[in-house]
Amino acid sequence: MDSKIPHGEMDKKWDDYKGHVKLVNPANKRKLEVIVVGTGLAGASAAASLGEMGYKVKTFCFQDSPRRAHSIAAQGGINAAKNYQNDGDSIFRLFYDTVKGGDYRAREANVHRLAEVSAAIIDQCVAQGVPFAREYGGLLSNRSFGGTQVQRTFYAAGQTGQQLLLGAYSALERQVALGNVTQYSRHEMLDVVTIDGKARGIIARDMVTGELERHFGHAVLLCTGGYGNVFYLSTNAMGSNVTAAWKAHKKGAYFGNPCFTQIHPTCIPVTGDHQSKLTLMSESLRNDGRIWVPKAKDDKRKAIDIPEEERDYYLERRYPAFGNLVPRDVASRAAKERCDAGYGVGTTKLAVYLDFADAIKRYGKIEAGKTGNHHPSDEEAIGLGKAVVKEKYGNLFEMYDKITGENPYEMPMRIYPAVHYTMGGLWVDYELQTTVPGLYALGEANFSDHGANRLGASALMQGLADGYFVIPYTLGNYLADEIRVNAIPTDHPAFVETEKAVADRLNALMNIKGTESVESFHKRLGKIMWDKCGMARNEQGLKEAIVEIQQLRKEFWSNVKIPGEVNEFNTELDKAGRVADFIELGELMCIDALNRNESCGGHFREESQTEDGEAKRDDENFSYVAAWEYKNDSNWELNKEELNFEIVKPTQRSYK
């Protein structure tokens, strides 16, 4: 494995790289075809940018339109080192916060580049007409997010992901109109085609007709998001899946740090077995909401009847420096700790309060003061304060109300951690290329920038950085050597054989004709993963999980029941293929978690903790990226990319 990190000073690497990278001239770009799988922030921005440059691009998404990709659901915001607030932000600070936030398990050079291009992302989005929140003077507004002490997050109410995705989508549609991009919706990539060791195309299934299609590309970009749905319940969309990345893995792409999962602290708690997904309440709420549980165990009183002195604001107590704005992994574990100790609230006792009463009063007093009323009554202040909170978080409060039937302006929200994001993903080098030449991974689908824990508002930044500002440069360095390769006809034996293997697998699934539904298998997998490879992990549990998953896999392939036919619109068949891949991935995640006998970021091994229960890293033995190479069924080989920290020296992370 060569991570291809450029030589030289950290803050010069990217500029030097761009200055010396190979270029493809415009006439040659027209002859080069690029396949982009997935049309979220990373995919749409990459496809639009490459189309603008003159490459012939094809995009694929399983939804009915690229605009539906799950980036759309990101709520809180996007980070950028603009320092518009004059609060001491800089590229270095964003870089430093991200490396530290990731608990020193990210690659420094990639993170530095991310921080460098962050400002240009905001410029690009504003130019596209993305309506970010603004101040009365007409300039852009910022807010804070966890794990930082500056205000560098740009936002559009609680719908930032939507606005950014629609910006990238509109740029993409413009390229479709200009004929530079061909768009395939309701298509699912079911394998990568490799010829002489290079990625040369894909096999995709038209999900309406069930027909398999062959598509050639000089390069293939996977922008297919994360794999949080391996846990069944997560904040991901129902269709989010690992299939494209997993097929690439089985064709030779190493999988990096698969066990690094982000459990987000503020989600609406599970209500029952019928639950199909979990809904996030944006981290931005922790700017103004205070998290607490009762000081007494099993306190049956309503939240508003519990007096101030009987409440335990445990994040403020444990982490006075960052308070409610500690990083996600820390906040999630602290919630779990309180609930496990018996202080949880709500019917399931697996929830804590997120309370806005103080913020409402505080904002109300400020508003009253603006009109000269310096001693408003509580009632006046609360009325005015609610309006301020509504403007900031209105859509989130409404969403909470719709789901729970409770009004969060009147009583605190109940929240609990839930699977949200996967830092792990396909291993890529500095150029975002996987271990298969010509095969790239962008956005959440790769492993590179967030280490063992992602900071809030950094996923949108990374997806767009990869698509708008990284791949347009790095892809040329590969394609410059491909200009003599003519488009390979798709009757080439590699296409024929790969398509046959895909068809055989689909038929094998259809022919099982067992008795248990796909959904049931998925739920069973999710339970194993959540119980044994979730917020806390230990050797015994992981070993048990590996055996259970292997057993589940056998059962799946002998007893799954898929109705309908292979050559038609068949959502159960779509799901079956994805769950089959999730089962294999689940095993690898447990193997990776077992191998990594340290705690770092979102990966908490119970055997490795400090006296006060914080994650304890083991830099001597685990300062590496675990890049797993697929050998055959249930058999992987571990490759290590050593992490060298030139700038940010690893220390025990402290938010106290």
Partner 1 sequence: MEHYNMNLTLKVWKQKNSKAKGSFETYQVKNISSEMSFLEMFDVLNEQLIEENKEPIAFDHDCREGICGMCSMYINGQAHGPWQQNTTCQLHMRAFKDGDTIVVEPWRSRAFPVIRDLVVDRTSFDRIIQAGGYISVNTGNAVDANALPIDKKDADAAFMAAACIGCGACVATCKNGSAMLFTSAKVSQLALLPQGAPERESRVLNMVAQMDKEGFGNCTNTYACEAECPKGISVSNIARMNREFLSAELNSED
Q: Which of residues 242-281 bind partner 1 (CB under 8 A)?
A: 271-272, 274-277, 279-280
Q: Measure the N-to-C terminal CA separation of the chain; round to a whole number of Å.
A: 38
571 is a contact residue toward partner 1 (CB under 8 A):
yes
Q: CB of 393 within 8 A of CB of 285?
A: yes
Taking CA atoms, 186 is separated from 181, 215, 449, 502, 575, in Å, by: 16, 15, 30, 17, 14
Query: Residues 320, 324, 325, 330: is their CA dihedral positive or negative?
Result: positive
332 is a contact residue toward partner 1 (CB under 8 A):
no
Nearest-approach distance from CB 271 to partner 1, in angstroms? 5
CA distance 401 to 203: 43
Kindly tell me the burial class for residue 517, based on how many C-beta atoms sit within 10 Å of its own C-beta (0-12, 13-18, 19 or more). Answer: middle
- Rounded to 10 degrees, the C-alpha dihedral 558/563/568/572 comes to -70
Which residue is listed with tokens 């298509």? 187
123 is a contact residue toward partner 1 (CB under 8 A):
yes
Nearest-approach distance from CB 135 to partner 1, in angstroms? 7
295 is a contact residue toward partner 1 (CB under 8 A):
no
Task: Select which of 113, 318, 328, 524 is catalytic.
Answer: 328
Query: Residues 545, 549, 551, 555: is their CA dihedral positive or negative?
Result: positive
What mask, x for binding partner 1 by CB under 8 A, covers residues 585 to 624?
Answer: ----------------------------------------
Which of 10, 81, 106, 157 touches partner 1 by CB under 8 A?
157
233 is a contact residue toward partner 1 (CB under 8 A):
no
Which residues are paired to 624 by β-bridges? 642
DSSP string, 471-495: HHHHHHHHHGGGTT-PPPPTTSHHH
174 is a contact residue toward partner 1 (CB under 8 A):
yes
Closer residue to partner 1 in complex, CB, 277/361: 277
399 is a contact residue toward partner 1 (CB under 8 A):
yes
CA distance 474 to 439: 12
Ranges within 78-97 binding partner 1 (CB under 8 A)? 82, 84
404 is a contact residue toward partner 1 (CB under 8 A):
yes
CA distance 468 to 168: 9
48 is a contact residue toward partner 1 (CB under 8 A):
yes
CA distance 170 to 48: 9
The beta strands (E) that lie in 296-337 are given as: 311-312
The beta strands (E) that lie in 324-412 are given as: 352-355
Closer residue to partner 1 in complex, CB, 49/474: 49
Taking CA atoms, 155 is separated from 149, 386, 593, in Å, by: 17, 20, 35
**One-letter identity of residue 654:** S
156 is a contact residue toward partner 1 (CB under 8 A):
yes
120 is a contact residue toward partner 1 (CB under 8 A):
yes
572 is a contact residue toward partner 1 (CB under 8 A):
yes
Ranges within 196-225 binding partner 1 (CB under 8 A)? 208
Nearest-approach distance from CB 604 to partner 1, in angstroms? 27
Helix or strand run (H / E) with residue 553: helix 539-559
Supply 438's token pair.
Answer: 């010509």
Closer residue to partner 1 in complex, CB, 84/92: 84
Quote the crossing angle between the two packed helices 13-20 and 108-127, to the nearest 10°: 70
Ranges within 446-505 binding partner 1 (CB under 8 A)? 468-469, 472
Closer residue to partner 1 in complex, CB, 316/516: 516
Which of 19, 139, 370, 642 touches partner 1 by CB under 8 A?
139
Nearest-approach distance from CB 522 to partner 1, in angstroms? 11
Closer residue to partner 1 in complex, CB, 133/512: 133
411 is a contact residue toward partner 1 (CB under 8 A):
no
Q: Which stretch binds partner 1 (CB under 8 A): 7-15, 121-129, 253-261, 492-500?
A: 121-129
Q: How many residues sit close enough to partner 1 to count as binding (CB under 8 A)?
A: 85
Q: CB of 620 within 8 A of CB of 642?
A: no
Q: CB of 426 within 8 A of CB of 248?
A: yes
What mask, x for binding partner 1 by CB under 8 A, covers residues 518 to 547?
Answer: -xx---------------------------
CA distance 231 to 135: 40
**One-letter identity of residue 89:** D
406 is a contact residue toward partner 1 (CB under 8 A):
yes
Query: Residues 466, 461, 276, 447: is their CA dihedral positive or negative?
Result: positive
Nearest-approach distance from CB 80 to partner 1, in angstroms? 9
**Cα radius of gyration (the chain):** 24
387 is a contact residue toward partner 1 (CB under 8 A):
no
Closer residue to partner 1 in complex, CB, 91/125: 125
Q: Which stretch binds partner 1 (CB under 8 A): 161-169, 329-337, 361-369, 647-655?
A: 161-169
Nearest-approach distance from CB 435 to partner 1, in angstroms? 28
163 is a contact residue toward partner 1 (CB under 8 A):
yes
350 is a contact residue toward partner 1 (CB under 8 A):
no
Supply 260's token pair.
Answer: 């690094």
21 is a contact residue toward partner 1 (CB under 8 A):
no
Q: Which stretch binds partner 1 (CB under 8 A): 317-325, 517-525, 618-626, 628-636?
A: 517-525
Q: Which stretch binds partner 1 (CB under 8 A): 382-390, 416-424, 526-534, 569-577?
A: 569-577
Closer residue to partner 1 in complex, CB, 73/350: 73
Q: CB of 185 within 8 A of CB of 542?
A: no
Sequence-distant (≥ 6) Cβ neighbours of residue 231 within 8 angstroms: 261, 419, 526, 529, 530, 534
DSSP string, 395-407: HHHHHHHHHHS--
Which residue is listed with tokens 């494995």? 1
Closer residue to partner 1 in complex, CB, 36/533: 36
Nearest-approach distance from CB 126 to partner 1, in angstroms? 4
Q: CB of 172 within 8 A of CB of 159?
A: no
Which of 7, 136, 612, 633 touches partner 1 by CB under 8 A?
136
The question of whether 578 is a catalytic residue gets the answer no
Nearest-approach distance from CB 171 to partner 1, in angstroms? 6
* Phi, psi at 266, each rounded to 5°: -115, 85
Nearest-approach distance from CB 516 to partner 1, in angstroms? 10
Closer residue to partner 1 in complex, CB, 388/487: 388
625 is a contact residue toward partner 1 (CB under 8 A):
no
Report, as residue numbers or ranges, the catalytic residues: 328
